[in-house]
Chain A
Amino acid sequence: MTALSPRTVEKGPVPNSLTTGQLPRFAELYIFGASAVVSGVLLMLIGFDVIGWLVLSAVVYLVLLGILSSLVENRRKAVDRLVRGLVTVAFLLAIIPLVSTLFTVVSKGIGALSFQFITQTGGSAFNPDTLEVTNTPGALQAIVGTLIITGIATLISVPIGLFTSIYLVEYGRPGQWLSRTVTFLVDVMTGIPSIVAGLFAFSLFTIILGPKAFSGFSASVALSVLMIPTVVRACEEMLRLVPHDLREASYALGVSKFATIVRIVLPTAIAGIVTGIMLAIARVIGETAPIFMAASFTDNFNSNPFEGPMQTLPVMAYTGFAFPGTDITASNNSAWGAALLLVILVVILNLIARVIAKVFAPKGSR
C-alpha cells in the first residue's frame, strides 16, 4: 500500500513536450479582449470612432498574438495563428459592406416608402397658370415596368435555358463537339458585361424598327441574354443530380425518352430548377445598365412592353441621382425608395428560392 501511494498523489497535468510551450486554450479570446480595450483607450485620447476602433483592435490583436505566440510557442505556430487571424479578418471585412449597404438602403429608403409611393405614378407636373412644378413621389410605373420586363425575360429565358440543359444532360454525349461547345459558350456567356447586353438589344431593335426603338420588350431581350446562361447552369446542375437508376428503371419499362424526361426526370428535379430560376430572376431584376440602354426611362405610366420607354426600379434609382428633377431632394428620396423596393424584391425572391429548395428537396440527397 505504501509503495503505491506516491503514484496516486500526483494529480493535474503532467508536464511533457505535448502540453508545455503552448498558449492557454482561450488565449485568442483573451488577447482579442485585451487589444480591444487597449485600442479603445488609445482612441479615447485622440477621439473615438467605431471604425477606427475596430481596425486598430484588429491590428493590435494580430501583432500581440504574433509576438506572444512566437515567444511562448515557436515561429511556425505563430505564423499559423497569424494566418488564422488574417483569414478571419478577411471574412469580417466582407460582412461590413453587406451590413452597411443594407443598413444604408433601409434607413434612407424607409422615409420614402409609403402606401402612396407604391400605388401612385410619380413625376412632376407643370401647371401653366401658376408656373409651378409639382412633384408627386410615386413608383407605380417603375414597379409595373420591372415586373413586366422581368416577367417577359423569364418567359423567354426559361424555355431556352431548360431545353438547353436537357440537351446537355440527356442528349449530348460528353465528347461530342456540340455539347462541349455549348457548355463552354454558356460559361463564357455568364461573363458578358450587362451593358453589352443592353447595347445588343438596342442595336437589334434599331436595325429592325428604326431609331428610337426604346421598348420594354427590348429590355427583356437584353435581360434574357444575361439570364439564359444562369438558368442553363442551374437546371443542368439539378438534372445531373437525378439518379441514373430512375432513368434506367423507366427505360426498362419501355417508356420512351421523351416521357422519361417529362414524367420522371423533370418532376424529380423540379424543386431545384424552380430555385435556380428564382435566383436567376433575382440576379437580373436589379440590372440597371441594360434596361437603361434598351428601355430608356420615363415618368409616364406605360404598361405596353412593345411601345415606348418604360420605367423600372433600378433605372429609377439611377436616374433619381444622375438626372434629378427640379427638386433634388425629392428626386434623391424617390431614388432611395426605389432602391429599397428593389432590395425587398430581391430578398423576397431569394427567400422563396431557399424555402422551395428546403421544403421540396429530395430526401436524403443532402
Chain B
Amino acid sequence: MSDRTSVESVSSTQPRQNTKSDSTTPLGGGTPAPAASPKRASRVRPADAIFRGLSTGSAIFIMVILAGVALFLIVQGMPAIVANWQSNPELNDGFTSAFDSFWAYVGPLLFGTLWSAAIALVLGAPIGIGIALFISHYAPRRLAGLLGYVVDLLAAVPSVVFGLWGIIVIRPFLLPLSDWLNTYLGWIPIFGGQVTTTGSTILAGAVVLAVMILPIITSISREIFLQTPRLHEEAALALGATRWEMVRLAVFPYAKSGIVSATLLGLGRALGETMAIAMIISPAVIVSFLVVTEGQNSQTIAANIALNFPIASTLQRQALIGTGLLLFVVSLAVNMIARSIVSRGSSKTGGKKKARPKPLVVPTGDATSTLTRDLVADKNTAAGPEGASA
C-alpha cells in the first residue's frame, strides 16, 4: 500500500521529500517542502475534484431521469388528453371510438388496474407474510437461507414466462373452481354472471399476479421480522408464551409498519404488471366487479397499452401514453407512501435498536474483534437492556 501512496503523490504536482528514491531531482526537494505543505493541504487534487463531480453528477442525473420520465410522458400524452374525443376522426376510429373523453376512457382502465391488483393482494399478501414468518421464525436455522433463496428465485422468473404459464396451467386449473364458485356462491355479486368456458378470467390473471408479488412481500417482511429485538422474543418465551404467542406479542407489533409497507410495495408491483394480465384475461374497457366471466373483465392500464400499442394511430398512441402517465402517477404515489412508512418506521425504531444485542456484534472476523464481541456480549448480558442502550 505504501508504494501506491508514493506513486500517487508523485503523480500530483508537488513531489514529497520522502520520494527521493524516485527519479525526481533531490536538489529542489528540500527547500519548497515547508512552504508547500500548508498549501497542498488546502488544495484539491484535480482527480479528486473530477471524481467528486462525477459521483455528484450521477446522483443528480437520477433526479433528472425521474423528472424526464414525467416530462416526456406529459409532453406526449397531453395532445390526447386535451383533444376533443367526440369530433376527432382519429379517435373516433378503432379501440377509442366508444368514448367521449380521455377521462371516460381512462376511468374504467384505472378501475380495472386497482381491482385486479386488489384481488392479487388479497390472495398474495397473507401467503407472502406467512412465508416470511416461516423462513424467519419457524424453519430450521440452517435451511432458512436456502428457503429464502428459493422464494427469491420466483422474482427472477421473467414475467412473460409467468404469462405463458398462466395460459397453459392456471387457466384450465381454475376452470372447475370458477364453475363451483359460480354455481354455489353465485349469489355473491362478484362470482355471478355468465361463467367462463376458456378460463380467461380476471381471477386467473390475479392468481398469476399474486404469485409475482409474493417475492417482494416476502423479502421485505422477512427482513423486518428478523429485526425484532431478540430480548423481546426471549422475554415472551421466558414468560411461557408459545411460539405463536411470541410472534403475536413481540414480532407483529414491532413489524407492523414493515408489513404495511411490504404490502403496499406488492400493490405497486401488481399495479404495473403488464404481461400476465395482457396474455391471460379476455378484457373489456368497462367497470365490472365480476371475476369468473369472460368478456366482462375490467382491463388494466398496462395490459391495455401492451395490447393496443402496435395497432394504434399517432393520436391513439398519445392517448395510451396519457393512460401510462396516470399509471406512473398512481404507482409513484403508492411507492412513495410505502417508502415513507418504511423510513418513518426505521427512524422510530432507531432508538429501540440500541437495546438489541445484534448491532453490537463486531462484523470483522479477526482476533481482536472476537475479543471485543465477547466483552460486548458480557457487558450486554450483565447490564441488561438499560445498560446496553445507555
Contact = CB atoms under 8 A, between A and B. Distances in A.
Contact of B134 (A88, A163, A292): A88
A77 interface: yes
Interface in B147-171: 147, 150-151, 153-165, 167-169
B4 A263 contact: yes
A195 B62 contact: no
Given A163-B57, A178-B59, A94 B127 contact: yes
A254 B147 CA distance: 46
B389 to A, nearest CB: 21
Interface string A134-164: 0000000000000000000000000111011
B157 A343 contact: yes
Interface in A253-281: 253-259, 261-263
A321 B167 contact: yes
Contacts of A346: 156-158
A72 to B, nearest CB: 15
Contact of A261 (B51, B66, B165, B327): B51
Contact of A164 (B4, B62, B332): B62
Contacts of B4: 255, 259, 263
Q: What bracket does the count of chain A residues touching chain B fall in?
A: 35 or more
Contact of A289 (B61, B62, B269, B302): B302
A245 to B, nearest CB: 8
A104 B165 contact: yes
Q: What bracket does the count of chain B residues touching chain A fall in?
A: 35 or more
A56 to B, nearest CB: 14
A250 interface: yes
A83 B244 contact: yes
B242 A80 contact: yes
Interface in A208-227: 211, 225
Contact of A256 (B45, B157, B336): B45
A287 B365 CA distance: 40
B44 to A, nearest CB: 9
A282 B156 CA distance: 7
A291 to B, nearest CB: 10
Interface string A298-317: 00000000000000001001
Which of B4, B130, B279, B343 has the most chain A CB atoms inside 10 A of its CB?
B130
Contacts of B151: 94
A81 to B, nearest CB: 9
A195 B302 contact: yes
Interface string B217-243: 010000000000000000000000011
Interface string A325-354: 000000000011001001100110010000
Nearest to B167: A321
Contacts of B242: 76-77, 79-80
Given A168-B59, A365-B365, A192 B169 contact: no
Interface in B1-38: 1-2, 4-5, 8-9, 12
A179 interface: yes
A234 to B, nearest CB: 13
A172 B153 CA distance: 33
A194 B159 CA distance: 11
B154 A97 contact: yes
B364 interface: yes
Which of A91, A164, A232 has the most chain B CB atoms inside 10 A of its CB?
A91
A86 B339 CA distance: 29
Nearest to A197: B69
B87 interface: no
Contact of A286 (B150, B161, B173, B305): B161
Nearest to B309: A293
A90 B134 contact: yes
Nearest to B363: A365
B268 interface: yes
A256 B47 contact: yes
A188 B75 contact: no
B164 A207 contact: no
A336 B164 contact: yes
A185 interface: yes
A93 B218 CA distance: 13
21 contacts: A80-B243, A91-B131, A94-B131, A105-B161, A171-B55, A186-B62, A188-B332, A189-B62, A193-B272, A194-B274, A196-B73, A200-B73, A207-B75, A288-B163, A289-B305, A318-B163, A321-B164, A335-B164, A336-B164, A339-B164, A346-B158
Given A203-B321, A253-B1, 9 more contacts: A188-B332, A188-B339, A194-B159, A194-B274, A225-B69, A241-B363, A262-B51, A289-B306, A364-B364
Interface of A: 51, 76-77, 79-80, 83-84, 86-91, 93-95, 97-98, 100-102, 104-105, 108, 159-161, 163-164, 166-168, 170-172, 178-179, 181-182, 184-197, 199-200, 202-204, 206-207, 211, 225, 228-229, 232, 241, 243, 245, 249-250, 253-259, 261-263, 282-283, 285-289, 292-293, 296, 314, 317-318, 321-323, 335-336, 339, 342-343, 346-347, 350, 363-365
Interface of B: 1-2, 4-5, 8-9, 12, 45, 47-48, 50-52, 54-63, 65-66, 68-69, 72-73, 75-76, 126-127, 130-131, 133-135, 138-139, 147, 150-151, 153-165, 167-169, 173, 211, 214, 218, 242-245, 247, 265, 268-269, 271-275, 278-279, 302, 305-307, 309-310, 314, 320-321, 324, 327-328, 331-332, 334-336, 338-339, 343, 363-366
